Amino acid sequence: MTAPASVRSDVHTHIWAPSHLSGAFRVDLDRIRPGGAAIDASPEAHRASDRPERTIVVAFDGAHSGLEVPDHFVAAYVDQDRERLIGYCSVNPVARDPRDAITRAVDELGLRGVKIAPTYQAFDPLGPEAFRLYEEIAARELPVLWHQGAAFVRNSVLSFAPPRLIDDVARRFPEMKIVIAHAGSPWPEECLAVVRKHPQVFADISGIVARPSLIRSVLTSATELGCSDRLLFGTDWPFATVAEVATSLQAVADDDDLTPATRSAASSLLARDSVAALGF
Protein backbone atom coordinates (compact mmCIF):
# COMPACT_ATOMS: atom_id res chain seq x y z
CA MET A 1 0.00 0.00 0.00
CA THR A 2 1.20 3.52 -0.68
CA ALA A 3 0.20 6.64 1.18
CA PRO A 4 -2.14 9.15 -0.48
CA ALA A 5 0.11 11.53 -2.38
CA SER A 6 -0.78 14.51 -0.22
CA VAL A 7 0.21 12.97 3.13
CA ARG A 8 3.82 13.85 3.93
CA SER A 9 4.35 12.68 7.50
CA ASP A 10 2.81 10.98 10.53
CA VAL A 11 3.54 12.19 14.08
CA HIS A 12 2.10 9.22 15.98
CA THR A 13 2.73 5.51 15.40
CA HIS A 14 3.48 2.51 17.61
CA ILE A 15 5.29 -0.77 17.31
CA TRP A 16 5.39 -3.65 19.77
CA ALA A 17 6.18 -7.32 20.10
CA PRO A 18 3.54 -9.68 21.54
CA SER A 19 5.63 -10.01 24.71
CA HIS A 20 5.23 -6.25 25.38
CA LEU A 21 1.49 -6.66 26.15
CA SER A 22 0.31 -8.06 29.49
CA GLY A 23 -2.61 -10.44 29.72
CA ALA A 24 -4.80 -7.76 31.32
CA PHE A 25 -3.95 -5.27 28.57
CA ARG A 26 -4.96 -7.86 25.95
CA VAL A 27 -8.29 -8.43 27.67
CA ASP A 28 -9.03 -4.69 27.78
CA LEU A 29 -7.95 -4.14 24.18
CA ASP A 30 -10.10 -7.02 22.93
CA ARG A 31 -13.03 -5.64 24.92
CA ILE A 32 -12.98 -2.18 23.32
CA ARG A 33 -11.84 -3.43 19.92
CA PRO A 34 -12.68 -7.07 19.19
CA GLY A 35 -9.56 -8.81 17.90
CA GLY A 36 -7.39 -5.86 18.97
CA ALA A 37 -4.89 -7.90 20.94
CA ALA A 38 -4.08 -9.89 17.81
CA ILE A 39 -3.19 -6.81 15.74
CA ASP A 40 0.27 -7.16 14.20
CA ALA A 41 2.28 -4.11 15.35
CA SER A 42 5.68 -5.64 14.64
CA PRO A 43 8.44 -3.58 13.03
CA GLU A 44 7.97 -5.70 9.91
CA ALA A 45 4.27 -4.83 9.72
CA HIS A 46 5.07 -1.14 10.34
CA ARG A 47 7.58 -1.18 7.49
CA ALA A 48 5.03 -2.81 5.18
CA SER A 49 2.26 -0.31 6.07
CA ASP A 50 1.38 2.77 4.03
CA ARG A 51 4.13 4.96 5.46
CA PRO A 52 4.54 8.53 4.20
CA GLU A 53 7.96 10.18 3.77
CA ARG A 54 8.60 10.54 7.51
CA THR A 55 7.07 8.87 10.56
CA ILE A 56 7.47 9.18 14.32
CA VAL A 57 7.58 5.84 16.18
CA VAL A 58 7.17 5.78 19.96
CA ALA A 59 8.17 3.53 22.85
CA PHE A 60 5.76 3.03 25.77
CA ASP A 61 6.92 2.85 29.40
CA GLY A 62 3.55 1.72 30.70
CA ALA A 63 3.97 -1.20 33.09
CA HIS A 64 1.02 0.01 35.18
CA SER A 65 -1.32 -0.52 32.23
CA GLY A 66 0.41 -3.59 30.84
CA LEU A 67 2.10 -2.09 27.77
CA GLU A 68 5.90 -1.97 27.96
CA VAL A 69 7.67 -1.16 24.71
CA PRO A 70 11.34 -0.50 25.59
CA ASP A 71 13.28 2.44 24.17
CA HIS A 72 15.90 0.09 22.71
CA PHE A 73 13.22 -1.80 20.75
CA VAL A 74 12.19 1.42 18.98
CA ALA A 75 15.81 2.50 18.51
CA ALA A 76 16.71 -0.81 16.85
CA TYR A 77 13.86 -0.34 14.37
CA VAL A 78 14.42 3.33 13.48
CA ASP A 79 18.15 2.65 13.09
CA GLN A 80 17.21 0.65 9.97
CA ASP A 81 15.89 3.76 8.19
CA ARG A 82 16.82 7.04 9.87
CA GLU A 83 15.83 9.04 6.78
CA ARG A 84 12.17 8.12 7.19
CA LEU A 85 11.78 7.11 10.84
CA ILE A 86 12.11 9.26 13.99
CA GLY A 87 12.16 7.38 17.30
CA TYR A 88 10.79 8.63 20.64
CA CYS A 89 11.64 7.19 24.04
CA SER A 90 9.01 6.87 26.78
CA VAL A 91 9.65 7.62 30.44
CA ASN A 92 7.62 7.11 33.58
CA PRO A 93 9.39 9.59 35.89
CA VAL A 94 8.19 7.75 39.00
CA ALA A 95 9.53 4.39 37.82
CA ARG A 96 12.82 5.59 36.28
CA ASP A 97 15.26 8.39 37.00
CA PRO A 98 14.42 11.04 34.37
CA ARG A 99 18.00 12.19 33.85
CA ASP A 100 19.36 8.67 33.38
CA ALA A 101 16.49 7.70 31.08
CA ILE A 102 16.74 10.77 28.85
CA THR A 103 20.55 10.65 28.73
CA ARG A 104 20.52 7.02 27.63
CA ALA A 105 17.68 7.54 25.14
CA VAL A 106 19.33 10.50 23.43
CA ASP A 107 23.06 9.85 23.74
CA GLU A 108 23.14 6.07 23.42
CA LEU A 109 20.02 5.21 21.46
CA GLY A 110 19.69 8.29 19.24
CA LEU A 111 16.03 8.87 20.09
CA ARG A 112 14.72 12.37 19.37
CA GLY A 113 11.53 12.92 21.36
CA VAL A 114 9.54 11.66 24.34
CA LYS A 115 6.19 9.91 24.62
CA ILE A 116 4.27 10.26 27.88
CA ALA A 117 0.80 9.10 28.87
CA PRO A 118 0.24 9.89 32.56
CA THR A 119 -3.18 8.25 32.66
CA TYR A 120 -1.74 4.95 31.35
CA GLN A 121 1.52 5.31 33.27
CA ALA A 122 -0.22 6.31 36.52
CA PHE A 123 1.92 9.32 37.36
CA ASP A 124 0.67 12.75 38.32
CA PRO A 125 1.52 15.03 35.35
CA LEU A 126 1.83 17.94 37.79
CA GLY A 127 3.83 16.05 40.44
CA PRO A 128 7.47 16.76 41.35
CA GLU A 129 8.79 13.64 39.53
CA ALA A 130 7.02 14.75 36.35
CA PHE A 131 8.59 18.21 36.55
CA ARG A 132 12.04 16.63 36.91
CA LEU A 133 11.32 14.85 33.63
CA TYR A 134 10.14 18.09 31.96
CA GLU A 135 13.38 19.79 33.06
CA GLU A 136 15.40 17.10 31.26
CA ILE A 137 13.18 17.28 28.18
CA ALA A 138 13.48 21.06 28.05
CA ALA A 139 17.27 20.97 28.54
CA ARG A 140 17.55 18.66 25.51
CA GLU A 141 14.95 20.63 23.49
CA LEU A 142 13.01 17.44 22.77
CA PRO A 143 9.40 17.45 21.51
CA VAL A 144 6.79 15.55 23.53
CA LEU A 145 3.97 13.39 22.25
CA TRP A 146 1.59 13.58 25.17
CA HIS A 147 -1.44 11.35 25.61
CA GLN A 148 -3.61 13.57 27.77
CA GLY A 149 -7.13 12.24 27.38
CA ALA A 150 -9.21 9.19 28.19
CA ALA A 151 -7.78 5.66 28.27
CA PHE A 152 -9.40 2.26 27.76
CA VAL A 153 -7.35 0.20 30.22
CA ARG A 154 -9.27 -0.46 33.44
CA ASN A 155 -6.19 0.21 35.55
CA SER A 156 -5.53 3.64 33.98
CA VAL A 157 -6.08 6.78 36.06
CA LEU A 158 -8.61 9.20 34.60
CA SER A 159 -7.97 11.84 37.26
CA PHE A 160 -4.57 12.37 35.57
CA ALA A 161 -6.17 12.66 32.12
CA PRO A 162 -7.68 16.15 31.58
CA PRO A 163 -5.92 18.08 28.78
CA ARG A 164 -6.08 21.37 30.72
CA LEU A 165 -3.37 20.06 33.08
CA ILE A 166 -0.85 20.66 30.28
CA ASP A 167 -1.29 24.41 30.73
CA ASP A 168 0.83 24.38 33.91
CA VAL A 169 3.68 22.71 32.00
CA ALA A 170 3.38 24.88 28.89
CA ARG A 171 3.55 28.05 31.00
CA ARG A 172 6.67 26.84 32.79
CA PHE A 173 8.37 25.61 29.59
CA PRO A 174 7.31 28.01 26.82
CA GLU A 175 9.79 26.56 24.32
CA MET A 176 8.78 22.92 24.76
CA LYS A 177 6.97 21.57 21.72
CA ILE A 178 4.04 19.50 22.94
CA VAL A 179 1.66 17.47 20.78
CA ILE A 180 -1.56 16.49 22.54
CA ALA A 181 -2.54 13.10 21.10
CA HIS A 182 -6.03 12.38 19.78
CA ALA A 183 -6.95 16.08 20.17
CA GLY A 184 -7.41 15.29 23.86
CA SER A 185 -10.40 13.03 23.13
CA PRO A 186 -12.98 12.97 24.64
CA TRP A 187 -12.23 16.55 25.74
CA PRO A 188 -11.28 18.25 22.47
CA GLU A 189 -12.54 21.69 23.54
CA GLU A 190 -10.31 21.57 26.61
CA CYS A 191 -7.40 20.44 24.42
CA LEU A 192 -8.01 23.27 21.94
CA ALA A 193 -8.15 25.79 24.79
CA VAL A 194 -4.55 24.79 25.60
CA VAL A 195 -3.49 24.77 21.93
CA ARG A 196 -5.01 28.20 21.32
CA LYS A 197 -3.30 29.63 24.38
CA HIS A 198 0.21 28.30 23.75
CA PRO A 199 1.89 28.69 20.35
CA GLN A 200 4.23 25.76 21.05
CA VAL A 201 1.37 23.31 21.71
CA PHE A 202 -0.12 21.20 18.92
CA ALA A 203 -2.78 18.48 18.69
CA ASP A 204 -2.78 15.36 16.53
CA ILE A 205 -6.01 14.06 15.07
CA SER A 206 -5.22 10.36 15.46
CA GLY A 207 -7.73 8.11 17.16
CA ILE A 208 -10.79 10.17 16.25
CA VAL A 209 -11.12 9.21 12.60
CA ALA A 210 -13.65 6.50 13.37
CA ARG A 211 -15.89 9.17 14.92
CA PRO A 212 -17.00 11.44 12.04
CA SER A 213 -18.87 13.88 14.28
CA LEU A 214 -15.81 14.34 16.51
CA ILE A 215 -13.34 15.00 13.71
CA ARG A 216 -15.77 17.55 12.21
CA SER A 217 -16.17 19.28 15.54
CA VAL A 218 -12.39 19.41 16.14
CA LEU A 219 -11.77 20.95 12.70
CA THR A 220 -14.67 23.38 13.18
CA SER A 221 -13.62 24.52 16.65
CA ALA A 222 -9.93 24.82 15.78
CA THR A 223 -10.89 26.95 12.77
CA GLU A 224 -13.17 29.19 14.82
CA LEU A 225 -10.45 29.57 17.47
CA GLY A 226 -7.82 30.40 14.86
CA CYS A 227 -5.46 27.53 15.73
CA SER A 228 -6.19 24.96 13.01
CA ASP A 229 -2.63 25.44 11.73
CA ARG A 230 -1.44 23.56 14.82
CA LEU A 231 -3.42 20.41 14.11
CA LEU A 232 -1.06 17.65 13.01
CA PHE A 233 -1.51 14.47 10.99
CA GLY A 234 -1.25 11.29 13.05
CA THR A 235 -2.59 7.77 12.65
CA ASP A 236 -1.88 6.02 15.95
CA TRP A 237 -0.92 3.06 13.72
CA PRO A 238 -1.60 0.11 14.04
CA PHE A 239 -5.04 1.36 15.08
CA ALA A 240 -5.53 3.24 11.79
CA THR A 241 -3.70 3.53 8.49
CA VAL A 242 -2.57 6.68 6.71
CA ALA A 243 -5.19 6.00 4.03
CA GLU A 244 -8.00 5.75 6.62
CA VAL A 245 -7.06 9.01 8.32
CA ALA A 246 -6.58 10.76 4.97
CA THR A 247 -9.98 9.53 3.76
CA SER A 248 -11.61 10.79 6.93
CA LEU A 249 -10.01 14.22 6.54
CA GLN A 250 -10.92 14.37 2.87
CA ALA A 251 -14.56 13.74 3.83
CA VAL A 252 -14.41 16.86 6.02
CA ALA A 253 -12.80 18.83 3.20
CA ASP A 254 -15.63 17.73 0.88
CA ASP A 255 -18.51 18.31 3.34
CA ASP A 256 -20.87 20.98 1.98
CA ASP A 257 -22.48 21.37 5.40
CA LEU A 258 -19.27 22.85 6.83
CA THR A 259 -17.96 26.37 6.33
CA PRO A 260 -15.39 27.01 3.58
CA ALA A 261 -12.86 27.90 6.31
CA THR A 262 -13.31 24.55 8.09
CA ARG A 263 -13.13 22.63 4.82
CA SER A 264 -9.99 24.52 3.91
CA ALA A 265 -8.48 23.70 7.32
CA ALA A 266 -9.01 20.00 6.59
CA SER A 267 -7.29 20.33 3.21
CA SER A 268 -4.40 22.24 4.77
CA LEU A 269 -3.96 19.57 7.42
CA LEU A 270 -3.80 16.89 4.72
CA ALA A 271 -1.06 18.83 2.93
CA ARG A 272 0.88 19.83 6.07
CA ASP A 273 4.32 18.38 6.79
CA SER A 274 3.41 17.66 10.42
CA VAL A 275 6.82 16.25 11.39
CA ALA A 276 8.54 19.38 10.03
CA ALA A 277 6.26 21.51 12.24
CA LEU A 278 8.05 19.92 15.22
CA GLY A 279 11.44 21.02 13.96
CA PHE A 280 12.57 17.79 12.31
Using CB under 5 A, list all residues that contact Zn ion: 236
Residues 176 and 25: their CA atoms lie apart, in Å, by 31
Q: Residue with CB nearest Zn ion? A: 236
Q: In whole angstroms, give the CA distance from residue 224 to residue 202.
A: 16
What is the residue-wise DSSP string for 68-101?
EE-HHHHHHHHTT-TTTEEEEEE--TTTS-HHHH
Closer residue to Zn ion (CB): 71 or 236: 236
Q: How far is the CB of 58 from Zn ion (least distance, A)?
A: 7
Q: Which is nearer to Zn ion, 28 or 220 (CB)?
A: 28
Residue 56 — φ and ψ, nearest 5°?
-90, 135
Q: Smallest distance, Å, CB 207 to Zn ion?
A: 7
Closest CA to 154 of 22, 28, 20: 28
Nearer to Zn ion, 62 or 93 (CB): 62
> Between 190 and 236, whose beta carbon lies closer to Zn ion?
236
Closest CB to Zn ion among residues 70, 224: 70
As a whole number of angstroms, the distance between CA 270 and CA 264 comes to 10
Calpha distance 85→33 (Å, rounded): 27
Nearest alpha-carbon partner for 50 in 84, 78, 76, 16: 84
Q: How far is the CB of 272 from Zn ion (least distance, A)?
A: 19
The nearest distance, CB 88 to Zn ion, in angstroms, is: 11
* Strand residue runs (E) in the chain: 9-14, 54-58, 60-62, 67-69, 85-90, 113-116, 144-146, 178-180, 201-204, 231-232
Pair 156, 122: CB distance under 8 Å: yes
CB nearer to Zn ion: pick between 93 and 234:
234
Closest CA to 69 of 27, 111, 11, 35: 111
Cβ 146 to Zn ion shortest distance, Å: 11
Least distance from C-beta 117 to Zn ion, angstroms?
8
Choice between 61 and 236, CB closer to Zn ion: 236
Interatomic CA distance for residues 267 and 250, integer angstroms: 7
CB of 252 to Zn ion, least distance (A): 21
